[in-house]
Protein backbone atom coordinates (compact mmCIF):
# COMPACT_ATOMS: atom_id res chain seq x y z
CA UNK A 1 0.00 0.00 0.00
CA UNK A 2 1.23 3.52 -0.81
CA UNK A 3 0.95 5.72 2.27
CA UNK A 4 -0.01 9.33 1.58
CA UNK A 5 2.18 11.75 3.57
CA UNK A 6 0.79 15.25 4.15
CA UNK A 7 2.22 18.06 6.25
CA UNK A 8 -0.04 20.63 7.91
CA UNK A 9 0.36 23.73 10.05
CA UNK A 10 -0.44 22.82 13.62
CA UNK A 11 -2.78 25.71 14.31
CA UNK A 12 -4.25 26.13 10.83
CA UNK A 13 -4.31 22.76 9.08
CA UNK A 14 -5.30 22.96 5.40
CA UNK A 15 -8.98 22.10 4.99
CA UNK A 16 -8.41 20.00 1.85
CA UNK A 17 -5.91 17.75 3.64
CA UNK A 18 -8.20 17.28 6.64
CA UNK A 19 -11.10 16.53 4.28
CA UNK A 20 -9.04 13.97 2.36
CA UNK A 21 -8.08 12.24 5.63
CA UNK A 22 -11.68 12.34 6.90
CA UNK A 23 -12.87 10.65 3.68
CA UNK A 24 -10.34 7.87 4.19
CA UNK A 25 -11.64 7.34 7.74
CA UNK A 26 -15.28 7.34 6.59
CA UNK A 27 -14.44 4.71 3.99
CA UNK A 28 -12.87 2.41 6.57
CA UNK A 29 -9.20 3.35 6.08
CA UNK A 30 -6.40 4.21 8.53
CA UNK A 31 -4.95 7.69 9.12
CA UNK A 32 -2.15 8.55 11.56
CA UNK A 33 -2.49 12.05 13.02
CA UNK A 34 -0.86 14.20 15.68
CA UNK A 35 -2.38 14.67 19.12
CA UNK A 36 -0.97 16.55 22.11
CA UNK A 37 0.07 13.23 23.75
CA UNK A 38 1.55 11.08 20.97
CA UNK A 39 0.64 10.37 17.32
CA UNK A 40 -2.55 8.31 17.00
CA UNK A 41 -3.50 5.70 14.41
CA UNK A 42 -7.13 6.46 13.60
CA UNK A 43 -10.03 4.44 12.21
CA UNK A 44 -13.82 4.71 12.37
CA UNK A 45 -14.42 3.61 15.96
CA UNK A 46 -17.87 2.23 15.21
CA UNK A 47 -16.64 0.04 12.34
CA UNK A 48 -15.21 -3.25 13.63
CA UNK A 49 -13.73 -4.10 10.21
CA UNK A 50 -11.87 -0.78 10.00
CA UNK A 51 -10.59 -1.18 13.57
CA UNK A 52 -9.33 -4.70 12.80
CA UNK A 53 -6.94 -3.02 10.37
CA UNK A 54 -5.46 -1.03 13.28
CA UNK A 55 -4.65 -4.26 15.11
CA UNK A 56 -3.08 -5.71 11.96
CA UNK A 57 -1.00 -2.65 11.08
CA UNK A 58 0.36 -2.33 14.63
CA UNK A 59 0.64 -6.03 15.37
CA UNK A 60 -1.48 -5.27 18.45
CA UNK A 61 -2.96 -8.14 20.51
CA UNK A 62 -6.74 -8.21 19.98
CA UNK A 63 -7.48 -8.16 23.73
CA UNK A 64 -5.92 -4.70 24.05
CA UNK A 65 -8.82 -2.23 23.70
CA UNK A 66 -8.73 1.05 21.77
CA UNK A 67 -9.49 4.55 23.03
CA UNK A 68 -12.30 6.41 21.21
CA UNK A 69 -11.53 10.04 20.42
CA UNK A 70 -14.21 12.71 20.15
CA UNK A 71 -14.06 16.42 19.38
CA UNK A 72 -17.13 17.73 21.15
CA UNK A 73 -18.48 16.80 24.55
CA UNK A 74 -21.94 15.89 23.32
CA UNK A 75 -20.53 13.09 21.15
CA UNK A 76 -19.79 11.26 24.41
CA UNK A 77 -23.45 10.55 25.13
CA UNK A 78 -23.82 8.54 21.90
CA UNK A 79 -21.09 6.07 22.82
CA UNK A 80 -21.49 5.54 26.59
CA UNK A 81 -24.36 4.31 28.79
CA UNK A 82 -24.10 7.01 31.46
CA UNK A 83 -21.81 9.73 32.77
CA UNK A 84 -21.31 9.84 36.55
CA UNK A 85 -20.94 13.05 38.59
CA UNK A 86 -17.25 12.40 39.10
CA UNK A 87 -16.74 11.87 35.37
CA UNK A 88 -18.58 15.15 34.66
CA UNK A 89 -16.24 16.98 37.03
CA UNK A 90 -13.17 15.49 35.36
CA UNK A 91 -14.52 16.35 31.92
CA UNK A 92 -15.15 19.96 32.95
CA UNK A 93 -11.67 20.23 34.44
CA UNK A 94 -9.53 18.41 31.87
CA UNK A 95 -11.26 18.11 28.49
CA UNK A 96 -10.10 18.80 25.91
CA UNK A 97 -6.77 17.39 27.05
CA UNK A 98 -4.65 14.34 27.87
CA UNK A 99 -7.15 12.51 30.12
CA UNK A 100 -8.94 9.30 29.06
CA UNK A 101 -12.00 8.20 31.06
CA UNK A 102 -13.45 4.67 31.13
CA UNK A 103 -17.28 4.37 30.85
CA UNK A 104 -19.87 1.61 30.40
CA UNK A 105 -20.16 1.39 26.61
CA UNK A 106 -23.28 2.02 24.54
CA UNK A 107 -24.49 -0.80 22.26
CA UNK A 108 -23.21 0.92 19.11
CA UNK A 109 -19.57 0.48 20.25
CA UNK A 110 -18.33 -2.84 18.87
CA UNK A 111 -16.90 -5.36 21.34
CA UNK A 112 -14.00 -5.84 18.90
CA UNK A 113 -12.60 -2.44 19.90
CA UNK A 114 -13.10 -2.86 23.65
CA UNK A 115 -11.24 -6.14 23.90
CA UNK A 116 -14.58 -7.77 24.69
CA UNK A 117 -15.17 -5.53 27.74
CA UNK A 118 -18.50 -3.81 28.47
CA UNK A 119 -16.54 -0.58 29.04
CA UNK A 120 -15.07 1.91 26.59
CA UNK A 121 -12.27 4.43 27.09
CA UNK A 122 -12.91 7.93 25.70
CA UNK A 123 -10.76 11.03 25.20
CA UNK A 124 -11.28 14.53 23.79
CA UNK A 125 -7.86 15.67 22.54
CA UNK A 126 -6.89 19.34 22.59
CA UNK A 127 -4.72 19.24 19.45
CA UNK A 128 -6.15 21.42 16.68
CA UNK A 129 -5.33 18.91 13.93
CA UNK A 130 -6.87 15.99 15.85
CA UNK A 131 -10.01 18.02 16.54
CA UNK A 132 -10.32 19.18 12.92
CA UNK A 133 -10.01 15.61 11.64
CA UNK A 134 -12.52 14.11 14.10
CA UNK A 135 -15.00 16.92 13.36
CA UNK A 136 -14.61 16.49 9.60
CA UNK A 137 -15.09 12.72 9.82
CA UNK A 138 -18.04 13.27 12.15
CA UNK A 139 -17.29 9.96 13.88
CA UNK A 140 -15.75 8.74 17.10
CA UNK A 141 -12.22 7.84 16.06
CA UNK A 142 -10.50 4.81 17.58
CA UNK A 143 -6.84 5.77 17.86
CA UNK A 144 -4.14 3.90 19.72
CA UNK A 145 -0.58 5.15 19.50
CA UNK A 146 0.65 5.01 15.90
CA UNK A 147 3.63 2.72 16.53
CA UNK A 148 4.35 -0.96 16.01
CA UNK A 149 3.10 -2.70 19.13
CA UNK A 150 5.77 -2.81 21.85
CA UNK A 151 7.91 0.03 20.43
CA UNK A 152 8.08 3.42 22.13
CA UNK A 153 5.06 5.54 21.17
CA UNK A 154 5.64 8.01 18.31
CA UNK A 155 6.08 11.66 19.16
CA UNK A 156 7.05 12.71 15.62
CA UNK A 157 5.68 11.88 12.17
CA UNK A 158 9.08 10.38 11.29
CA UNK A 159 8.54 7.75 14.03
CA UNK A 160 5.20 6.82 12.45
CA UNK A 161 6.77 6.63 9.00
CA UNK A 162 9.50 4.34 10.36
CA UNK A 163 6.97 1.92 11.91
CA UNK A 164 3.96 2.06 9.61
CA UNK A 165 4.88 3.36 6.14
CA UNK A 166 3.22 1.12 3.54
CA UNK A 167 0.81 -0.35 6.09
CA UNK A 168 -1.68 2.52 6.46
CA UNK A 169 -3.47 4.92 4.10
CA UNK A 170 -2.22 8.30 5.28
CA UNK A 171 0.06 10.06 7.76
CA UNK A 172 -0.58 13.68 8.72
CA UNK A 173 2.57 15.42 9.93
CA UNK A 174 1.63 18.23 12.32
CA UNK A 175 4.94 18.60 14.15
CA UNK A 176 6.08 17.17 17.47
CA UNK A 177 3.57 15.96 20.08
CA UNK A 178 4.13 18.34 22.98
CA UNK A 179 3.32 16.07 25.94
CA UNK A 180 5.15 13.07 24.50
CA UNK A 181 3.55 10.52 26.87
CA UNK A 182 0.24 8.72 26.33
CA UNK A 183 -2.87 10.04 28.06
CA UNK A 184 -3.70 9.46 31.70
CA UNK A 185 -6.40 6.76 31.99
CA UNK A 186 -8.88 6.81 34.86
CA UNK A 187 -11.75 4.48 35.70
CA UNK A 188 -14.40 6.24 37.80
CA UNK A 189 -16.93 3.41 37.67
CA UNK A 190 -16.01 1.99 41.11
CA UNK A 191 -16.58 3.63 44.48
CA UNK A 192 -12.99 4.84 44.60
CA UNK A 193 -11.71 6.00 41.20
CA UNK A 194 -8.68 4.11 39.92
CA UNK A 195 -5.79 5.53 37.92
CA UNK A 196 -4.99 2.86 35.30
CA UNK A 197 -2.21 4.68 33.46
CA UNK A 198 -0.44 7.84 34.66
CA UNK A 199 0.11 10.73 32.26
CA UNK A 200 0.36 14.51 32.05
CA UNK A 201 -2.91 14.95 33.94
CA UNK A 202 -1.40 13.88 37.25
CA UNK A 203 -2.82 12.04 40.26
CA UNK A 204 -2.49 15.27 42.23
CA UNK A 205 -4.42 17.25 39.59
CA UNK A 206 -7.21 14.65 39.53
CA UNK A 207 -7.44 14.49 43.32
CA UNK A 208 -7.80 18.27 43.49
CA UNK A 209 -11.03 17.85 41.48
CA UNK A 210 -12.65 14.59 42.72
CA UNK A 211 -10.78 13.75 45.93
CA UNK A 212 -8.84 10.61 46.78
CA UNK A 213 -8.12 8.12 44.01
CA UNK A 214 -6.26 4.80 43.93
CA UNK A 215 -3.45 3.82 41.63
CA UNK A 216 -3.58 0.45 39.87
CA UNK A 217 -0.71 -1.39 41.63
CA UNK A 218 0.75 -2.45 38.27
CA UNK A 219 1.54 1.17 37.45
CA UNK A 220 4.85 0.74 39.28
CA UNK A 221 5.03 -3.01 39.96
CA UNK A 222 5.60 -5.76 37.44
CA UNK A 223 2.30 -7.39 36.46
CA UNK A 224 2.02 -11.10 37.24
CA UNK A 225 -0.60 -13.84 37.10
CA UNK A 226 -2.03 -12.58 40.38
CA UNK A 227 -1.44 -8.88 39.73
CA UNK A 228 -3.28 -8.09 36.52
CA UNK A 229 -3.57 -4.50 35.27
CA UNK A 230 -7.09 -3.16 34.74
CA UNK A 231 -5.95 -1.53 31.51
CA UNK A 232 -5.12 -4.63 29.46
CA UNK A 233 -2.50 -2.77 27.43
CA UNK A 234 -0.39 -2.24 30.52
CA UNK A 235 0.43 -5.93 30.83
CA UNK A 236 2.60 -5.97 27.72
CA UNK A 237 6.25 -4.97 27.57
CA UNK A 238 5.94 -1.53 26.18
CA UNK A 239 7.92 1.41 25.09
CA UNK A 240 10.98 -0.76 24.62
CA UNK A 241 13.89 0.12 22.45
CA UNK A 242 15.92 -2.83 21.09
CA UNK A 243 18.57 -2.08 23.68
CA UNK A 244 18.42 -3.48 27.20
CA UNK A 245 17.46 -0.63 29.51
CA UNK A 246 18.64 -0.66 33.13
CA UNK A 247 17.49 2.01 35.58
CA UNK A 248 19.76 3.25 38.35
CA UNK A 249 17.91 4.84 41.24
CA UNK A 250 19.07 6.46 44.48
CA UNK A 251 18.53 9.49 46.68
CA UNK A 252 22.05 10.76 46.11
CA UNK A 253 22.39 11.84 42.48
CA UNK A 254 26.18 11.85 42.66
CA UNK A 255 26.20 8.21 43.71
CA UNK A 256 23.85 7.39 40.84
CA UNK A 257 26.25 9.08 38.42
CA UNK A 258 29.21 7.15 39.88
CA UNK A 259 27.37 3.84 39.60
CA UNK A 260 26.34 4.50 36.01
CA UNK A 261 29.92 5.43 35.12
CA UNK A 262 31.18 2.20 36.72
CA UNK A 263 28.63 0.14 34.78
CA UNK A 264 29.65 1.89 31.56
CA UNK A 265 33.36 1.30 32.26
CA UNK A 266 32.75 -2.40 32.92
CA UNK A 267 30.58 -2.99 29.87
CA UNK A 268 31.84 -4.67 26.72
CA UNK A 269 28.72 -3.73 24.75
CA UNK A 270 27.78 -0.55 22.92
CA UNK A 271 26.49 1.58 25.77
CA UNK A 272 24.32 4.70 26.02
CA UNK A 273 23.37 6.83 29.01
CA UNK A 274 19.99 8.44 29.54
CA UNK A 275 20.95 11.47 31.60
CA UNK A 276 19.60 14.89 32.52
CA UNK A 277 20.94 18.42 31.96
CA UNK A 278 22.31 18.47 35.51
CA UNK A 279 24.43 15.33 34.97
CA UNK A 280 25.13 14.90 31.27
CA UNK A 281 28.56 16.56 31.21
CA UNK A 282 29.90 14.45 34.06
CA UNK A 283 29.83 11.17 32.13
CA UNK A 284 32.65 9.68 30.13
CA UNK A 285 30.70 7.79 27.46
CA UNK A 286 30.37 8.20 23.71
CA UNK A 287 26.56 8.32 23.72
CA UNK A 288 24.88 10.44 26.38
CA UNK A 289 21.36 11.76 25.73
CA UNK A 290 19.85 14.29 28.10
CA UNK A 291 16.12 14.19 28.80
CA UNK A 292 16.28 17.83 29.92
CA UNK A 293 16.19 19.74 33.17
CA UNK A 294 15.49 17.51 36.22
CA UNK A 295 13.29 20.26 37.63
CA UNK A 296 11.16 20.27 34.47
CA UNK A 297 9.28 16.97 34.34
CA UNK A 298 7.17 18.12 31.37
CA UNK A 299 10.35 18.51 29.35
CA UNK A 300 11.63 15.11 30.47
CA UNK A 301 8.30 13.48 29.53
CA UNK A 302 8.34 15.14 26.12
CA UNK A 303 11.83 13.81 25.30
CA UNK A 304 11.60 10.27 26.70
CA UNK A 305 10.24 8.25 23.76
CA UNK A 306 12.23 10.27 21.21
CA UNK A 307 15.45 9.39 23.04
CA UNK A 308 14.55 5.71 23.48
CA UNK A 309 14.08 5.54 19.71
CA UNK A 310 17.34 7.42 19.14
CA UNK A 311 19.30 4.77 21.05
CA UNK A 312 17.98 2.18 18.59
CA UNK A 313 18.94 4.41 15.68
CA UNK A 314 22.48 4.66 17.09
CA UNK A 315 22.74 0.87 17.51
CA UNK A 316 23.10 1.05 21.30
CA UNK A 317 22.91 -2.37 23.03
CA UNK A 318 22.58 -1.32 26.69
CA UNK A 319 21.14 1.91 28.09
CA UNK A 320 21.82 2.96 31.69
CA UNK A 321 19.18 5.44 32.76
CA UNK A 322 18.78 7.86 35.63
CA UNK A 323 15.35 8.01 37.26
CA UNK A 324 13.12 10.86 38.48
CA UNK A 325 10.98 11.22 41.64
CA UNK A 326 7.52 9.66 41.29
CA UNK A 327 5.66 12.91 41.97
CA UNK A 328 3.46 14.78 39.48
CA UNK A 329 4.33 13.81 35.91
CA UNK A 330 7.26 11.86 37.40
CA UNK A 331 4.85 8.98 38.06
CA UNK A 332 4.10 8.67 34.33
CA UNK A 333 7.78 9.00 33.41
CA UNK A 334 8.77 6.26 35.89
CA UNK A 335 5.93 4.02 34.70
CA UNK A 336 7.18 4.24 31.09
CA UNK A 337 10.84 3.93 32.10
CA UNK A 338 10.15 0.82 34.17
CA UNK A 339 8.29 -0.78 31.30
CA UNK A 340 11.05 0.15 28.85
CA UNK A 341 13.49 -1.50 31.27
CA UNK A 342 11.32 -4.57 31.81
CA UNK A 343 11.50 -3.52 35.51
CA UNK A 344 15.30 -3.93 35.66
CA UNK A 345 16.44 -1.42 38.29
CA UNK A 346 19.52 -1.05 40.47
CA UNK A 347 18.55 0.71 43.69
CA UNK A 348 21.38 2.36 45.64
CA UNK A 349 21.13 2.66 49.40
P1 LIG B 1 -2.90 3.28 23.41
O2 LIG B 1 -4.03 3.99 22.75
O3 LIG B 1 -1.99 2.57 22.48
O4 LIG B 1 -2.21 4.20 24.36
O5 LIG B 1 -3.57 2.14 24.28
C6 LIG B 1 -4.80 2.32 24.92
C7 LIG B 1 -4.70 1.95 26.36
O8 LIG B 1 -5.99 2.15 26.94
C9 LIG B 1 -4.32 0.50 26.59
O10 LIG B 1 -3.44 0.38 27.69
C11 LIG B 1 -5.67 -0.11 26.91
O12 LIG B 1 -5.54 -1.27 27.69
C13 LIG B 1 -6.38 1.01 27.65
N14 LIG B 1 -7.85 0.86 27.54
C15 LIG B 1 -8.60 1.06 26.44
N16 LIG B 1 -9.90 0.78 26.70
C17 LIG B 1 -9.98 0.40 27.99
C18 LIG B 1 -11.05 -0.02 28.85
N19 LIG B 1 -12.28 -0.11 28.40
N20 LIG B 1 -10.74 -0.34 30.12
C21 LIG B 1 -9.47 -0.25 30.57
N22 LIG B 1 -8.41 0.14 29.81
C23 LIG B 1 -8.66 0.46 28.53
MG1 LIG C 1 0.14 2.38 22.61
Residues 140-169: pLDDT tens digits? 999 999 999 989 999 999 999 999 999 999
φ, ψ for residue 116 (rounded to 5)? 85, -5
Instruction: Let me know if 3 is exposed, middle or buried by CB neighbors in 10 A (0-12, 13-18, 19+).
Output: middle
281 has pLDDT over 80:
yes
Name which of 217-221, 256-260, 305-309 the model is least confident about. Answer: 217-221
Q: Which atom of ligand 1 approaches the CA of 144 most closely?
A: 2
User: Could you give the CA distance from residue 194 to residue 312 in angstroms, rounded to a whole number?
Assistant: 34
Contact (CB, 8 A) for 231 and 199? no
User: Could you give the CA distance from residue 327 to residue 220 in angstroms, rounded to a whole number?
Assistant: 12
236 has pLDDT over 80:
no
97 has pLDDT over 80:
yes
196 lines ligand 1 (CB under 6 A): yes
Specify the residue with its C-alpha closest to ligand 1, atom 11.
233
User: Could you give the CA distance from residue 70 to residue 130 in angstroms, rounded to a whole number?
Assistant: 9
> Residue 237: its pLDDT value, please?
63
> Residue 189: its pLDDT value, please?
83
238 has pLDDT over 80:
no
Q: What is the pTM of this model?
A: 0.96
102 lines ligand 1 (CB under 6 A): yes
Q: Which of 66, 104, 194, 336 to mutate to test the pocket of ligand 1 (most atoms within 8 A of CB)?
A: 66
Contact (CB, 8 A) for 169 and 25? no
Instruction: Name which of 228, 224, 279 is nearest 254 in CA terms.
Output: 279
Tens of pLDDT, residue by residue over 170-197, are 999 999 999 999 999 999 988 899 999 9
Q: Which residue has the higher pLDDT, 117 or 225?
A: 117
Amino acid sequence: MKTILATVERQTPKKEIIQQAAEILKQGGLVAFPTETVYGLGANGLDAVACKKIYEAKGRPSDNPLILHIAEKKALYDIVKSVSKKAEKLIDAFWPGPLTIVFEKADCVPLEITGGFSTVAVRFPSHTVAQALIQAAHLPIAAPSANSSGKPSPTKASHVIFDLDGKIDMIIDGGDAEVGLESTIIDVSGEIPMLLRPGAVTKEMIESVIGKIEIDPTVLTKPSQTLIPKAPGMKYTHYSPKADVILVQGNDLQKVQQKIQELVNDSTQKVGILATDQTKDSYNCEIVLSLGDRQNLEQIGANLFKHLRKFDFLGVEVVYAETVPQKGEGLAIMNRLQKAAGYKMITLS
